[in-house]
Structure 1
Amino acid sequence: MEREVRQGGGCLVVPVKIVAVLVVLPVRVVWELLAGAARALDRYLLGPLYTYVLGPVLRGLGRVVSFLLKLVFVWPWTALWRYLLGPLVRALYAYLIAPLASALYRYLLRPLGLAAWWAADLLWRYVLVPASRWAYRYVLRPVATVLAWAWGVAGRVLRRAGWVLIGWPLSQVYRYVLTPVGHVVRAVWRTARDAVREAGAEVRRMLFGTPAGEQARSRARTLSSTTAAADAATAAEFSPPR
C-alpha cells in the first residue's frame, strides 16, 4: 500500500509535509515557550511567593479563624457548662433529686415492698399451705389410695384371668393329655428297649452260648418290665380325672 501511495501520489507527499511542518511548528514553539514560562514562573515567582508569603498568611488566617471559632462556639459553652450548668446540675442532684429519691424510697417504695412481702407471707402461711395440706389430705391421698387399690385389683383380675384363660387350660392339657401320653411313651420305650436287649441276648446266646444263671435273670427282667409297663398303661387308662 505504501509503495502504491509513493508510486501513485509521490508528487503530493512533499507539499503536504511542508504545509504540516509550517502549521505545527509555530504551535509547538508557542507551547514550549508557554511551558518554559510557566515553569520559570512557578520556580522563581509563585513557588517562593507561596512558600514565604501566601503559606504563612494562610496558616495565620487558619489559626485566627480557629481561634475565633473556639472563642465564639467552644469556650463560651465550655465556660457555661463549667461555671453555670455543671454546678446547677450538681446542686439540683444534691439538693433536689437525691433527697426526693431518698424520700420516695423511704416513704413509698420501701413500705410498698414491705407490704407486698407481708401480704405474700400471709398468703403463703394462711392460704397456700393450708390449701395444699387440705388438697393433699382430702383429694390427692384418697385419689392415690383409690388408684393403688384399683391397680392391685386390676393385677389380681389379670392374674385370675390369665390363670383361667391360659394357666388352667395348660395345666389340664398337661395333666390329662401330656402326662398319660408321656407314661405310654415311657412304657413303650422301656418295652422296646427291653425287647432289643432280649434280642441282643438271644443273638449272643445263639452265637456264643449263655450260662444258666444269666438266662434266668434275663427272663426275670423281661417278665418284670413287661408287667410294670402293662400295669402303668392300665393305670393311666383307667385312672379317674382329678
Structure 2
Amino acid sequence: MELRKPPPEPPQPEGCLVVAVRLPVRIVVLVLVVPVRMVWDALLAAGRLLRDTVLRPLGRALLWLARAVFVWPFVGLWRYVLVPAGRALAWLAAVLVVVPVVWVYRWVLTPVGRGLAWLARGAGAALAWVYARVLTPAGHALAWLLTGLGAVLAVLATGTYTGVAWLVRLLLVVPARWLYTWVLAPAGRAVAWCVRALGWLLGLLATAAGLALYRTARVLFVLPALALWRWVLAPAGRFLAVVAREVGDALGHAWRVAGRISRAVGRALGTLFRWIFVEPARWVYRNVLTPVGHVVRDAVLRPVAAGVRAVGRAGREALATARATVRQARAEARRMLFGGPRRPVPADLREPTGAAARSLGNSTTALTKD
C-alpha cells in the first residue's frame, strides 16, 4: 500500500489588521534580533573554540590527576596491602578457629549429642508407655463421668429455661407488642406526616428564595460579565493573540534571517582573516621555510646524524673490544692463580682383549687351565 502525504491545508484568509501589523512588527524585530543573533553566534564560536582548545585538555589532565591522586593509590593499597593481609588473616582464622571448632564438633559435641539422643529416645519410650497404659484409661473414665453429669445438668436446665421463657413472654412480650401496635405506631405515623408536610413547605420556600436570588444575581452579575466578555475582553484577546502570533512569527523569521546574515558576516571575516594572515603565512612556509629547512636538513642535520652514528658505532666497537680484553685478562688471572680446568679422563668401555679376556676355549680358572 503506497503511503501518500495528506494534502496541504489551504491558507486561511487574513484580515487587514493582520497585514497592517505584520510588516512593522517584522521590521522592528529584525532590527532588534540581528545584533543578538550575531552576538549569540560569536559566543557560540568562542565557546566551541574554548571547549576544544582549553576545557577538553584541562578535563583530561584533571581526570588523569584524579586517577593518579585518588584511584591508583587505593588500587595499590587494595592489591598489595589489603588482599595479602586478608589472605593472611583468613589463613590464621582457619588455623586458629576453624580447625579447633571442627575438632571439638567431631570428637566432643557429636558423641555427647548421640548420648543425649539415646537418653531422649529412652525417656520418650517411657513416657509413651505411661500415656498408653495409665493416662489414657484414666482419661476415658473421667470423660464417661463428665458425660453423665452433663446429661443430668442439661435436663435440669431445659426445664428451667422453658418455665422462665413462658413467664417472660406472658409478662413482657405480649404487653410490649400491644403497646407498639395500638399506641406507638399510630403516633409515629402522625409525627412522620407532620415532618413531611413541614419539609415540603420549607422546600417550597427555599425554591422561591433561590429563584429570586438567581434572578437577582443574573441581572446584577452574569449579564454585565457576559457583556464585558463579549464586547470588550474577547475582541481585546483576539487582537492580542494576533499581535502575539505575528510577533512569534516575526521572531522566528528574524532569527533565521539574522542567522544567514551572521553566517555571511562570519564567512567574510574568515575570508579576510585568511587573506591577511593565513595565506601569507602559508606562502612564507611553502616558499621560504620549506626550502631553508630542506637545505638545513641536507647540509647540516644529515651529516651531523651520520657523524653521530659513526661515533656511536666506534664507541660500541671500543666497548666490545675492552669488554673482551677484560674477560680474557680475568680468565688468564684465574688460570694463573687456580690452574686450568681439569680435563675429564675418558672411560674405556670396550671388551677386554688378550690374556685378560674369558672365552669358552681360554679360561682363567684353575680347573680348565692347560
The normalised TM-score by structure 2 is 0.28
Higher helix share: 1
User: Could you say which structure has the greater relative contact order, defined with CA pairs below 8 angstroms and 6 or more residues apart?
Assistant: 2
Give 1 or 2 for the bigger CA radius of gyration. Answer: 1
